[in-house]
Structure 1
């Protein structure tokens, strides 16, 4: 397995970091960032590395299945824990810093688990580019002593995918899949029913073969986001009448298509500029 000369120094730094830790618990979602962290942790630490996935209503069931499959492919020991984000008022109210409460719940669950199992370090998949975006969850992780190996050695989003491909992770090009709560505008209350509804809507589209997408939900309106280059194809190939009927049965009143197309973090454009760069 060949790693490009430009990435080899960063990979070596990553390996050194894990070797110095000795044991590490990886906050593992199954996405490509945490998968890369889990892969390198396993390569360096073997059975002294543990991947833990938080199971909650904000995680799509198929994402959990993929996370389990990918952990098996990597070889790392994998454990599931339940988290209760919706029980945190700060999370359910969906303020602009909702992710702070989400990551607080996650790491308030993982930290005592790590201590009970004898792991001095909890690590996540935050990369160097994430630290340039509005990510209040990063602060919650920092407050609880979580380390971010990818960010520490300066690995960007693009480099994560390149390195994952070179290390043999077959899902290196898997689209990013943030938690389902990111589908709702800030200030709209998040409930179990709403999470399930938007999750089923996205499942509907994936079963039709659409891979990179979001279904944004506002009150009872669903807004489909697809890559701009796929919008015409979607309109031409999709039975729109059947889709609308199915989604109205889920509880949506209106079903719309975003003509701008998919853009990660689009809801953040509604934030004050100061919040976006803080």
Structure 2
């Protein structure tokens, strides 16, 4: 089945809904879903963006700007603290407890707006990784229209480009908590160190990468094709100096390169 055919399935599924709340992070998947939903359901769509300390200010800003651009109703759910012990302790099931709490609050917002359907941007590729948060979505009755239509990440990018959605080539992003090894406590200080580190490396001209926080060690994951460029352009020295100013004692480059879910490799 082609991506175009899957897009038609997605549109047909959405057209059967009276209204829809989209959990909108501003990433590739949720931006595509929100755009298609707005096209199909018009004013009967609400976007909800979660603003918590596990999200970057840049992501929140871009979400607000895009929602305004396509003229969709938009609410920012501000969560000052995530007071979930399992999340703070960073257990392997962390994402389950976090998703359960956040989507429970999104449900409340939807109820206030008399919206009965809630969707997230999970795609079919998410089934191949360790995603405990998907269990929480299922328990709460959250829809995943992209997954149900069988859309892969690459197909979503291709269709986004075809539809002139600006996030078609946006680097993949995950919540900042994914940069902390399991069973190492999550703190705002650690997350801020990661956010500032990644912001700096982005300013050096690199797009897809991660900075993993291993206590006194920062482990930088870059696509293998970028590793030599990072070293030879002197970016490594600049990054080392800056990351050490944030509190890291050692700055390393992972020779295996960038890959999503690398923290799951120890499970």
Q: Which residue number in structure 1 is paired with residue 54 of structure 2?
A: 58
Q: Which residue number in structure 2 is paired with residue 274 of structure 1?
A: none
Q: 2:210 aligns with which of 214, 229, 232?
A: 214
Q: Is contact 1:85-1:105 (8 Å) kept?
A: no
List aligned pairs for 1:220-239, cutoff 5 A: 220-239=216-235
Q: Which residue number in structure 2 is paired with residue 70 of structure 1?
A: 66
Q: 2:156 aligns with which of 153, 160, 164?
A: 160
Q: 2:144 aligns with which of 126, 131, 148?
A: 148
Q: Which residue number in structure 1 is paired with residue 185 of structure 2?
A: 189
Q: Is contact 2:129-2:261 (8 Å) kept?
A: no
1:213/1:82 CA distance change after superposition, 3 Å: same
1:71-127 C-alpha deviation (Å, 9 max, x unpaired): 233332221011356311111111111111121121011011101110001100011
Q: Is contact 2:31-2:167 (8 Å) kept?
A: no
Q: Is contact 1:83-1:105 (8 Å) kept?
A: no
Q: Which residue number in structure 1 is paired with residue 33 of structure 2?
A: 37
1:235/1:152 CA distance change after superposition, 3 Å: same
How far does residue 70 in structure 1 lie from its aligned partner after superposition?
A: 2.4
Q: List gaps (5 residues or longer) in structure 2.
A: none
Answer with 64-73 or 185-194: which moved more.
64-73
Q: Is contact 1:85-1:102 (8 Å) kept?
A: no
Q: Using the alignment, how far apart are the partners of 1:74 and 1:174 within structure 2?
A: 18
How far does residue 66 in structure 1 lie from its aligned partner after superposition?
A: 1.6
List aligned pairs for 1:96-175, cutoff 5 A: 96-175=92-171
Moved over 3 A (4+): 239-242
How far does residue 224 in structure 1 lie from its aligned partner after superposition?
A: 0.8
What's the C-alpha RMSD, in Å, of the aligned pairs?
1.4
Q: Which residue number in structure 2 is paired with residue 202 of structure 1?
A: 198
1:132/1:246 CA distance change after superposition, 3 Å: closer
How far does residue 7 in structure 1 lie from its aligned partner after superposition?
A: 2.6
Q: Is contact 1:215-1:222 (8 Å) kept?
A: yes
Q: Using the alignment, how far apart are the partners of 1:240 and 1:132 within structure 2?
A: 33
Q: Using the alignment, how far apart are the partners of 2:79 and 2:99 within structure 1?
A: 10
Q: List gaps (5 residues or longer) in structure 1.
A: 272-278
Residue correspondences, number: 267
Q: Using the alignment, how far apart are the partners of 2:193 and 2:256 within structure 1?
A: 23
Q: Which residue number in structure 2 is paired with residue 276 of structure 1?
A: none
